Structure 1
Amino acid sequence: MRGLSRFQVPILALFVLVLALTGCASTPREPLPESVPVAPPAPLPRVTREDAVTTPVEPIKPTYAGPWEDPANPLFNRTIYFDYDTAEIKQEFLPLMRTHARYLGGHTETRVTLEGHTDERGTREYNLALGDQRAEAVRRFMLAEGVRPDQMATLSYGEERPAGLGHNEQSWRQNRRVIIQY
C-alpha cells in the first residue's frame, strides 16, 4: 500500500469491510406456499381406422341467380376481349365469365362452344394457334369455376371471322376475343 498514509489504510480497510457486509445483506424471502398437487394430464384417446369418418368432398357447383342473369339470352354479353398477342384473361372479364359459369352449373344440359378469334396481324397458322389458346384459357377458367368439361368445346377461327373490318387498332381490338356460343 504504497502512497497511502498510515491513517488512510485503516479507513480504506474499514470501508471495504462495510461494503462487503452491506453488499451481502438481503431481505429474507417469504416461505413459498405449499404446492397444490396437479393431476397428470389425461391420456388422449386412441383413434383407429374404424373410428375415423371420412366425408366425400363434393365439387363446387355454381348456382344461377335468375332470369335477369341469363347468359343464354342473345342480348347478354358473351364476349371476352384480349390484349395483343396474348391469351391472358383480363381482370375486367372475370365477373362476366363467372356469370356464365354459374348459369352452366345450374343448367348441366346446356352446351357451349368457346370460339377463339384474333386480329389480322400474324400468319394464318399463328393466329389459329393463338385463337385456340384464348379459347382454352376461358375453358380452364370455367372448369375451375365448376363447369363440367363435357359442357364446353373450343374452336379457333383465328383471323377468319373479324368483328371489326378496318385495318387499325380499333378494329383489331374488337377482333381479339373469345365468344361464348350457346
Structure 2
Amino acid sequence: MQFKPYAKSLAVALSLAVLAGCSSSGGTQDGSMEGGAGSGYGSASGQGAGTSGQQSGSSMQGGSQDSRIPSERTIYFDFDSDQIRSEFQSVLQSHAQYLRNNGNATVVLEGHTDERGTREYNMALGERRAKSVEQFLSVQGVSPSQVEVVSYGEERPAARGQGEDAYAQNRRVVFSY
C-alpha cells in the first residue's frame, strides 16, 4: 500500500516536467524560425521583452520572453473591408512567431475604422477586422488564450481629417502587448 503515494508523486512530477518542456520556444533568439526574414523585428519599445538591439546568442533572458516583440504593430485595411492585405502577411507571421515562442505573452487586437458609416456599423467593422487577424494568428498556431479582440470603431482615429490619406491611416488593427 506504500506504492500509491509514490505513484501520485511520480505522476505530479512527470506532469510538471511535461508542462515545462511544452513551454520552451524551440526557435532561436534572433527570430530565424520561419517567415519574416528580416522584416518586422526591431527593438522592443520598452514593453514586454525588455531588450533593445541585440541579445546575447545563447542566454535566455526572463524565461518566456526570449525574443523581441515585432516592431511593426499596425496593419491597414481597404475601405469597408476586413480582408488582410497581402503586404501585411509577413508582419502577421512575425507576430504569430513571437506569440508561439512566448506562451505567456498576450496581445490585444484593436480594430479601428475611418469615420464614414454609422457608429454601430464601424464598431462591427472594427471587430471583424480584429477577428480576421485573430483567425490568421490561430491558423499560424497561436493559442486563443493569448489573444483578445477589441473594437474602437471610429472613436480613436490615428489621423484627423476627411481626406483619403487620413481615412487610410484610420482603417487598421493595432497589436497592443
Instruction: Say whether the fold is shared (TM-score over 0.5).
Output: yes
Quote how far apart the aligned CAs of 1:66 are.
Answer: 2.0
Q: Distance in 1 between matches of 2:26 and 2:138?
A: 11
- Residue in 2 aligned with 1:148? 143
Q: Runs of 4 or more off by more than 3 Å in structure 1?
A: 61-65, 67-72
Rg (Cα) greater in structure: 1
The alignment covers a number of residue pairs equal to 123
Superposed, 1:1-182 pairs within 5 Å as 63=27, 66=30, 70=41, 73-74=44-45, 76-182=71-177
CA contact (8 A) 2:41 2:72 kept: no
Quote how far apart the aligned CAs of 1:62 are.
Answer: 8.4
Matched to 2:30, the amino acid is: G
Residues 124-169 of structure 1, C-alpha deviation per residue, up to 9 Å, x if partnerless? 0000000000000000000000100000000000000000101110
**In structure 2, the residue corresponding to 1:165 is in which secondary structure?**
coil
Q: Distance in 2 between matches of 1:71 and 1:116?
A: 23
**In structure 1, the residue corresponding to 2:92 is in which secondary structure?**
helix
> Structure 2 length as normaliser, TM-score?
0.64
User: Judging changes above 3 Å, is the alpha-carbon distance between structure 1 residues 71 and 136 closer, same or farther for their aligned structure 2 residues?
Assistant: farther
% identical aligned pairs? 46
User: Judging changes above 3 Å, is the alpha-carbon distance between structure 1 residues 80 and 65 closer, same or farther for their aligned structure 2 residues?
Assistant: farther
Quote how far apart the aligned CAs of 1:71 are.
Answer: 7.0
Structure 1 unaligned blocks of 5 or more:
1-60
Q: CA RMSD in A?
A: 2.3
> Structure 1 length as normaliser, TM-score?
0.62
User: Judging changes above 3 Å, is the alpha-carbon distance between structure 1 residues 113 and 72 closer, same or farther for their aligned structure 2 residues?
Assistant: farther
CA contact (8 A) 1:118 1:177 kept: yes
Q: Distance in 2 between matches of 1:152 and 1:77?
A: 17
User: Judging changes above 3 Å, is the alpha-carbon distance between structure 1 residues 149 and 120 closer, same or farther for their aligned structure 2 residues?
Assistant: same
